[in-house]
Amino acid sequence: MIEKYSMLFLYLAVLIGLSIIAAKRVNNIRGFITGNKTLGYWVAAFSAQATGESSWLLLGVTGMGAMVGFSAYWIVVGEMIGVFIAWFFMAERYKKFTDHYDSITMTDFLVSRFGAKTNTLRVVASVSLAIFILIYIAAQIDATGSAFERFLEWDYMTGAVVGFIIVVVYSVIGGFVAVAWTDMFQGAVMVISLVALPLVAYMMLGPSDHVYATLENIDPGLVNIWGNGGLTSMNFAIVLGMMLIGLGFLGSPQVFARFLSIRDTEEIKRGRWVALMFTFLVDAAAVSIGVLGRYLFTEVGTDPVETLGNGAQNVLPTLVEYVFPAILVGLYVAAVLSAIMSTVSSLLIVAAGSITHDMYRKVFGVEMDGARSASISRWLTVLFAIIALGIAIAVSIISPTRTIFWFVIFGWSGIAAVFCPMVIMALFWKGFTIRGAIASMIAGFLMTVLAKFVFSEMPGIGPYFVAMETMPPAFLFSFIVGYIVSIIKPDEELQKQYDNDLKAIGEHNDG
């Protein structure tokens, strides 16, 4: 056990050290939220992708690989497509717009893009973001408790509280710069750990080991890319749900904060290849860990839940302990915490910055000097973390059979449905109006809740909503509502302003 703790303490020491160094760069709200827009491409790419992956990757996707087998590789396909579109088609234009408007939050960008005369857009965006970010953070804290419980045999509550304290400390100390730097470090830990595990495990197999044939014997559905039973309407819905998880990269504020904060568009062009490679390596490795774990630890007739935990989310720690000595198990504790904390810290900074800047300063008109605005953001960071901790503990009591995979996906889907369709249309469609933007956000918010708690319980269509989860219907509904509301009452002045803004940033009109 001492080996595990020594690696963990080394990891935490690096995080705190980076935060203390970063703190010297934070003396105002701009520094706290954006790092004064000085990120290089390596830091931006690793930070964006580490933030987007979270505990969902190391505990959820590995478990999904063990539960469903090869069909979980659709997650890799979907994530690659989402990351490709975000970095190759959206990032540069978003960066140019936010620099042109001198925006420091996504809400700033939206208000400037639509020339908002009232605070409605700012309030809807800030409140929606705060709600789903709290859910998303709560899911990460829940995963922290589970990780400590499984790896170090701690009590769940103790693990959740300790993880909460760690991430709050380095987020509060150094703000966005600390988050970005620690994300870079944590992303590197994730890549090395995830890629090494299935490679080493596979090399340990002997000549008599036949992975494909054994998996097919355990359950033929494990080696079918469409799942058990082949291509059916239900399996198609499941695959669609897994693939469209990547939609969350197309405008989620915690990811796009990296595009806003990167040094310039040349850094984006360099960073896009780093982001793609990072995503492919960690996602493919995570699914492979699950598949190998199912081969090694289950047999014909074995329930994977009994062996590998609820949702098979213990497959990674089980495989780590099977393959590596204790001191390297500590590295994997750090890897899981890296995935969790990189996301939590990013979300906390986005939420605190949004409330401080978009609500307190802009809506209520409270002017603050640099030091005071940074101080308020720090206190709000702590407050958000405490509320999220409370939600995580409450969910652990109310729903002991929850899985990390789908708990995280609900928060991720909510943020994506509220913001991504609106951001896509705001960037590329001059006919998009402020009414359409507000309607799009509200529609995404409502459909996320309805799809999860109402439509999934309905006879007939309910199982399909369960299979797809909330992302596809909520995203589509948000897009359609935003489009319809915009074409009902076009805004010609706004269209002219959009054309002028495009010329100002050196872009052409796409429609």
- Among 88-102, 174-188, 376-390, the range scoring the smallest mean pLDDT is 174-188
Look up the pTM and report it. 0.86
Q: How many CB atoms lie within 10 A of CB 196?
A: 17
Higher-pLDDT residue of 440 and 374 is 440
What pLDDT was estimated at residue 418?
93
Higher-pLDDT residue of 363 and 74 is 74
Buried b (16+ CB within 10 A) or exposed e, 70-102: bbbbbbbebbbbbbbbbbeebbbbbbbbbebbe
Taking 70 as the threshold, does the pLDDT of residue 30 lie above it?
Answer: no
> CA 321 to CA 47: how far, in whole Å?
28
CATH numeric code, 2-398:
1.20.1730.10
Question: What's the mean pLDDT in 273-280?
Answer: 94
DSSP string, 187-209: HHHHHHHHHHHHHHHHHH--TT-
Taking 80 as the threshold, does the pLDDT of residue 413 lie above it?
Answer: yes
Higher-pLDDT residue of 416 and 58 is 416
Question: What's the mean pLDDT in 24-39?
Answer: 59
Residue type at 195? V
What pLDDT was estimated at residue 96?
95
Question: What's the mean pLDDT in 333-360?
Answer: 68
What's the whole-number average pLDDT of the chain? 83
> CA 228 to CA 224: how far, in whole Å?
7
Taking 70 as the threshold, does the pLDDT of residue 345 lie above it?
Answer: no
| Residue 357 pLDDT grade (very low, low, confident, very high; cuts 50, 70, 90) | low
Who's near 336: CB < 8 A, 6+ residues apart?
A: 55, 58, 59, 143, 147, 151, 316, 317
Taking 70 as the threshold, does the pLDDT of residue 510 lie above it?
Answer: no
Who's near 491: CB < 8 A, 6+ residues apart?
A: 433, 434
Instruction: Using a pLDDT cut of 70, give the percent of the chain over it.
Output: 83
| Residue 342 pLDDT grade (very low, low, confident, very high; cuts 50, 70, 90) | low
What pLDDT was estimated at residue 19?
66
Pick from 72, 411, 76, 413: nearest CA to 247? 413
What pLDDT was estimated at residue 282?
93
Higher-pLDDT residue of 289 and 154 is 289
Among 209-213, 263-267, 435-439, the range of highest mean pLDDT: 435-439
Taking 90 as the threshold, does the pLDDT of residue 56 lie above it?
Answer: no
- Sign of the alpha-carbon torsion through 316, 80, 338, 140: negative
| Spacing of C-alpha 271 from chain mean position | 18
| Residue 147 pLDDT grade (very low, low, confident, very high; cuts 50, 70, 90) | confident
Taking 80 as the threshold, does the pLDDT of residue 33 lie above it?
Answer: no
What pLDDT was estimated at residue 28?
53
What pLDDT was estimated at residue 505?
92
Question: What's the mean pLDDT in 308-318?
Answer: 87
Q: How many CB atoms lie within 10 A of CB 10?
A: 12
Residue 128, strand partner residues:
none
| Residue 403 pLDDT grade (very low, low, confident, very high; cuts 50, 70, 90) | low
> Model confidence over 432-451: pLDDT tens digits?
999 999 999 999 999 999 99
What pLDDT was estimated at residue 72?
95
Among 168-172, 206-210, 238-242, 440-444, the range of highest mean pLDDT: 440-444
DSSP state of 153: -
Taking 80 as the threshold, does the pLDDT of residue 337 lie above it?
Answer: no
Q: Tokens for 384?
A: 């958000």
Pick from 414, 507, 510: nearest CA to 100? 507
Q: Tokens for 89?
A: 């088609």
Instruction: Using a pLDDT cut of 90, give the percent of the chain over it.
Output: 38
Contact 369, 203 (CB under 8 A): no
Question: What's the mean pLDDT in 324-338?
Answer: 75
Question: What's the mean pLDDT in 202-229?
Answer: 91
Residue type at 370? G
Pick from 316, 308, 321, 319: nearest CA to 1? 321
| Residue 254 pLDDT grade (very low, low, confident, very high; cuts 50, 70, 90) | confident
Taking 80 as the threshold, does the pLDDT of residue 290 lie above it?
Answer: yes
| Residue 156 pLDDT grade (very low, low, confident, very high; cuts 50, 70, 90) | confident
